[in-house]
Structure 1
């Protein structure tokens, strides 16, 4: 088996140079649009319609109509999230400590050259300007559903996605829902530290703020306050998606890519730059790995995961493996093009500084992110995959420290794909 892994790895590595190629903005936009309602298949569209309907119902609660004021108070209800279970555990998420670790990880932001900063604004301007109406609708749903887990359903495929939505609102996923949302380490302190103005506040900008005709449906332009770097919504999207991918490794690649798609939505709305999204990916990856390596957290995670998997199998009426199977055109997050999209979101085609390629050092325990998805591989093999599929050096935020290099260059879907096909 080890020989088979080595031979197949060598063969697949021949295709890896494509990872270093830039992806045109227009191609990335087309791929992003392929996972929006009315652009995939009737089955996928039905799932998206159900997702939006349940989100709007949750936001509205017992009120007669949905208003914008309700968005500010939105949170998972007692049925959806078992916060009492989590509180009783007494687990300390060490928020301040992890917030500082995030600031340190992103410290290179303050030293980026003007060419990168200019390209950063040009890219958000182009994506915001050229986004299709469907992509804007998806961005609004992503933005205003931040307090919930509904957005993860479309990365699960029509069958498992529907089961997830039904079980979530019944309260059958309560432990997972509570733990995942509590694991989102706020980017508030980092925003204050870096104090970077949002793109629509830059003098002379041409950002188009998107009116809400999807969720609240009051046509009020979507906006945001506070600093831009790093993106809080993107941190939420990646954290939620990564943890769900660890709980449902049968959908690992699709869920991780959903995190990237969630971050892209922030740029579509014109409220964040590419660097904001890239930085939050780095922080979320680091935080999830940190928590999964903590024995006390892992005990809670395992309990929540087991409850979730049991509930989903019951809802599906079959094994999770069967329910999670890829469903062709009805399952766009499993389209190979989404790997191309993910690679694009790692850099957003921002300028690469050419120079000597720095060797990549995997932080202790980082391979835990691939453990559930590639259980038959050793820690050393998972680490090797992370190194072999990593982004080339020199892109913004990759910095100079080993941690900055690793968390910016880590391409989880590519590492998973290589390991999955080789084993």
Structure 2
């Protein structure tokens, strides 16, 4: 009986540990490989003219935003590659792209594994925590605002996706920019959070391209995607 109980406890421990181990192994890269303190300036001080100007932008958008803008910002609160579906077309669906889906889960996880550490270092208050005048329309977060994780993820996803489908690079990167900007529309980020998020996303994308595990996953996901979208061989100038 004692051996049976020991076995059950051991299996329970393994089962509970497996998801945690999977999460740790899931990102391609973490904050151990990218030091944002050396890359980015510190966020503007709360009482600085820059923060006040950025707050003014948020409040102006708050007055001007339409129901369509609100709906778009709410939909873009989700961090996943499928927010690019309006650019990629009707065949761009997870059930048709299993390798692509798995690959981009690791890409998006890399954003959090890098950025979350430094949000805790800088601890910039969200606009709605700084000013009662800000009325956010998206899900609230009490993590640090700087840099924007969504802007980082959107830029990172956009770069990787456009490298798979260079024929749509302009549209993809325009969508990535809108995705990032919708965090200001939603009232949860300042402009400087977005700008540094774009820098961070670009740096992560460049660093990932030096990793063999990323290259292997990228090639398989790209082949699957281009096949599903019936795009044929990649244009020669992009190969």
TM-score w.r.t. length of structure 1: 0.46
User: 1:16-415 residue pairs with structure 2 within 5 A?
Assistant: 93-98=28-33, 100-109=34-43, 114-143=48-77, 145-146=78-79, 148-156=80-88, 161-165=89-93, 168=94, 170=95, 172-184=96-108, 185-186=111-112, 187-203=115-131, 205-210=132-137, 222-313=139-230, 319=231, 374-375=237-238
> Tell me, which stretches of 5 or more residues in structure 1 are unaligned?
1-86, 211-220, 314-318, 322-371, 377-423
What is the CA–CA distance in structure 2 between the aligned matches of 1:374 and 1:289, rounded to whole Å?
19
Indicate if the aligned counterparts of 1:91 and 1:297 stay in contact, CA closer than 8 A: no
Cα distance between partner residues in 2 of 1:134 and 1:91: 35
Contact 2:126–2:189 (8 Å) recurs in 1:
yes
Gaps of 5+ in 2: 1-21
- 2:90 is paired with a residue of what secondary structure? helix
TM-score (norm 2): 0.79
Q: How far apart in 2 are the matches of 1:291 and 1:269?
A: 30
CA RMSD of aligned residues (A): 2.7
Bigger RCO (CA 8 Å, 6+ sep): 2
The verdict on how the C-alpha distance between 1:102 and 1:135 changes in structure 2, with shifts beyond 3 A counting, is same
Task: Quote the offset at 1:152 in angstroms.
Answer: 0.3
Q: Compute the displacement of 1:224 (Å).
A: 1.9
Inter-partner Cα distance in structure 2 for 1:229 and 1:91? 23
**Displacement, 1:312?**
2.0
Are the aligned partners of 1:180 and 1:243 in contact in 2 as well (CA < 8 Å)?
no
Contact 2:42 2:122 in 1 (8 A): no
CA deviation profile, 1:42-97 (whole Å, cap 9, x unmatched): xxxxxxxxxxxxxxxxxxxxxxxxxxxxxxxxxxxxxxxxxxxxx8xx88723132
What SS class does the counterpart of residue 160 from structure 2 fall into?
helix
Query: Which whole-Å CA distance do the structure 2 matches of 1:243 and 1:306 have between them?
Result: 13
User: Which structure's residues are more often helix, by fraction?
Assistant: 2
Distance change >3 Å, CA 228–CA 375, structure 1 → 2: same
Pick closer, same or farther for the CA change 1:277–1:104 going to 2, 3 Å.
same
SS of aligned partner of 1:287: helix
Offset from partner CA, 1:209-265 (integer Å, 9 cap, x none): 22xxxxxxxxxx632221111111222222222211111111011111111100111
Alpha-carbon distance in structure 2 between the residues aligned to 1:93 and 1:142 = 23
CA contact (8 A) 1:163 1:312 kept: yes
**Structure 1 residues 116-167: Cα deviation after superposition (integer angstroms, max 9, x where no partner):** 2221211122123311110110001111x32x322101123xxxx11113xx
Structure 1 distance, partners of 2:237, 2:197, is 25
